[in-house]
Homo-oligomer: A and B are copies of this chain.
Amino acid sequence: MKLQTEYNIQDIKELLKDDLKIINDLLYKTIEGHSNLIHQVGDHIFSAGGKRIRPVLSILSGKLFNYNSDELYYLATAVELIHSATLLHDDVIDNSELRRGRKTANNLFDNKTSILVGDFLFAESFKLMVKGNSLNALMILSKASSIISEGEVKQLELKEKQIFSLEQYLEVITDKTAILFGAATESSACIAGRSSSECKLLKEFGINLGLAFQIVDDILDYSANDALFGKTIGNDFYEKKITLPIIFLLQDSNDKEQEEIRNIFHSSQSENKHLNYIISLLNNKDIFSKCYDYAQTYIENALKILKNFPSSNAKDILENICYTSVVRKY
């Protein structure tokens, strides 16, 4: 399937600017009038912008069914708050220094502040979900939150063992990313009062898109231009996280190369020259294309699911989000 993009990410943001404004206002409302540090950290994380892809998916999943309500925006914002809380804690766990092109909160403030403000945003997300007024949607999103943190724990456990399989990789990225995409889309269908089979379709749509999204993120961690990507290149490498490019690289390497790669990832010291060596192997063996093709299979699944729904503006934009997800450079 040849994917054609009509809109890029900026176009999509422009099309959805009224929705994004409502979400942004709700995000800022959660920190308004709260303690100084909460305000500073919240502003730091919200103003960095980010793609806001999760709340956008929530909104569009509601609109796909001609559903639009305050509750939809509460849920969408709650999803972004869960994501923001997770980012704050992840950056502490990974000791990250850059995020969305700016210093991370743990770097700018400290770990304690990031942990506590993460907890605060997480609690605020539940307050908004309660305002969403649907116990079913609440269950979907609280289950997702639980799976996300368990996914991070599993990733900690796997890092101890090192070099894992494609299957384990897919499990990790399902838990840490795709589940929240799926919860965002499913919970919207759910509050829109759709049938359980439609809710399940929307969940599958979100999960497939989320898998592709994370795979592309993992490709960009080795291939992106720092300034566009907004993170430091090689984060996963320095954190010894085994991602798809490395799994595919190992598959396409001879015994000697495999041993070298394994030694590099097992070594307690990571050097820039090792990162450069890995990147040169990835380029020479055309691994990035293979990874993009792999991500595209999930996008094709997602697009196929969308075919179940009648034409609409929302469907159009969702399709375009699918397209741009595998061609984005940041």
Supposing A135-B130, A138-B138 touch, asked if A116 and B149 sit within 8 A by C-beta, the answer is: yes
Given B138, B139, B156, which contacts A116 in the complex, CB threshold below 8 Å? B156
Q: Which residues of B contact A37 (CB under 8 A)?
A: 153, 156-157
Chain B residue at minimum C-beta to C-beta distance from A82: B123
Q: Verify if A133 is at the interface (C-beta below 8 Å from B).
A: yes
Supposing A93-B112, A156-B116 touch, asked if A123 and B146 sit within 8 A by C-beta, the answer is: yes
Given B111, B116, B145, which contacts A153 in the complex, CB threshold below 8 Å? B116
Q: Verify if A89 is at the interface (C-beta below 8 Å from B).
A: yes
A125-152 residues at the B interface, CB under 8 angstroms:
126-127, 129-130, 133, 135, 138-139, 142-143, 145-146, 148-150, 152
Q: Which residues of B contact A119 (CB under 8 A)?
A: 89, 122, 145, 148-149, 152
Shortest distance in angstroms between A84's beta carbon and chain B's nearest beta carbon?
A: 13
Q: A153 and B92: CB pair below 8 A? A: no
Q: A116 and B152: CB pair below 8 A? A: yes
Q: A112 and B156: CB pair below 8 A? A: yes
Bound complex: CA of A184 vs CA of B143, how far in Å?
22
Shortest distance in angstroms between A85's beta carbon and chain B's nearest beta carbon?
A: 8
Q: B142 and A120: CB pair below 8 A? A: no
Interface flags, A98-128, vs B, CB<8A=1, else 0 = 0000000000000111011101101110110
Q: Which residues of B contact A120 (CB under 8 A)?
A: 146, 149-150, 153
Shortest distance in angstroms between A140's beta carbon and chain B's nearest beta carbon?
A: 9
Q: Which residues of B contact A197 (CB under 8 A)?
A: none
Q: A150 and B112: CB pair below 8 A? A: no
Shortest distance in angstroms between A182's beta carbon and chain B's nearest beta carbon?
A: 16
Q: Verify if A311 is at the interface (C-beta below 8 Å from B).
A: no
Q: Verify if A38 is at the interface (C-beta below 8 Å from B).
A: yes
Chain B residue at minimum C-beta to C-beta distance from A144: B123
Q: Verify if A66 is at the interface (C-beta below 8 Å from B).
A: no
Q: Verify if A36 is at the interface (C-beta below 8 Å from B).
A: yes
A28-75 residues at the B interface, CB under 8 angstroms:
34-38
Bound complex: CA of A274 vs CA of B133, how far in Å?
54
Q: Which residues of B contact A152 (CB under 8 A)?
A: 116, 119
Q: Verify if A266 is at the interface (C-beta below 8 Å from B).
A: no
Bound complex: CA of A34 vs CA of B149, how far in Å?
11
Q: Which residues of B contact A150 (CB under 8 A)?
A: 34-35, 38, 120
Given B38, B89, B126, B156, which contacts A142 in the complex, CB threshold below 8 Å? B126
Shortest distance in angstroms between A44's beta carbon and chain B's nearest beta carbon?
A: 14
Bound complex: CA of A133 vs CA of B135, how far in Å?
7
Chain B residue at minimum C-beta to C-beta distance from A127: B142
Q: B126 and A149: CB pair below 8 A? A: no
Bound complex: CA of A146 vs CA of B37, how far in Å?
14
Q: List 28 A-B contacts (CB under 8 A).
A: A34-B150, A35-B154, A37-B157, A89-B115, A89-B116, A92-B112, A92-B115, A93-B116, A112-B156, A115-B115, A116-B152, A116-B156, A119-B145, A119-B148, A119-B152, A120-B146, A120-B153, A122-B145, A123-B142, A123-B143, A123-B145, A123-B146, A124-B146, A126-B126, A127-B139, A127-B143, A130-B135, A130-B142
Interchain residue pairs A-B with the least CB separation, the first 4: A123-B146, A123-B145, A119-B149, A126-B142
